[in-house]
Amino acid sequence: MLVARTASAGRRTLAVVLRAVLATALPAATPVVATATPAAASPEDPVANLWWVRCQEESEPFSDEPYILLNGQQIASGNNIDPGKKFYFFGNSEQHFNGEAVLVLELWEDDGIWGDDHLGNFYVYASNLGAGEVESYVFGNGEYILHYTVT
């Protein structure tokens, strides 16, 4: 009888201890849903002010027909571009970085039915904020200079 009582008392004691452990341990083990604290207001996103692209050397024996793509969209083009000639970013000169550190501008040359040639990429860095007038270069199959500022 003593064994039964001890076993029974032990089970009751175990049950009480388990309830106490679960009552204190489960709230700590329960996942806590955190809400993000809004970040402090950041300064306005920098803007690349794209001014012009100058041809230093054509990519083919005759004049080039270069164009610029940003995120797959054409933002500038030129016709019959020879060394020393520029083409401009009319209506598309201001490009926002949208939180990115660099804008990659693809330089292409329109070859009509023969397919277009990728001449290279211009890289415009947000870190040039306030640096004044800056240039980026594509030297390879043709030579071109992009002139810009970041404000």
Contact 89, 110 (CB under 8 A): no
pLDDT score at 43: 59
pLDDT of residue 19: 52
Q: What gap in Å lies between CA 111 and CA 63, rounded to an integer?
A: 11
Predicted confidence (pLDDT) per residue in 96-148, tens digit: 999 999 999 999 999 988 889 999 999 999 999 999 999 999 998 899 999 99
Whole-angstrom distance, CA of residue 82 vs CA of residue 128: 29
Task: Kindly report the pTM of this predicted structure.
Answer: 0.70
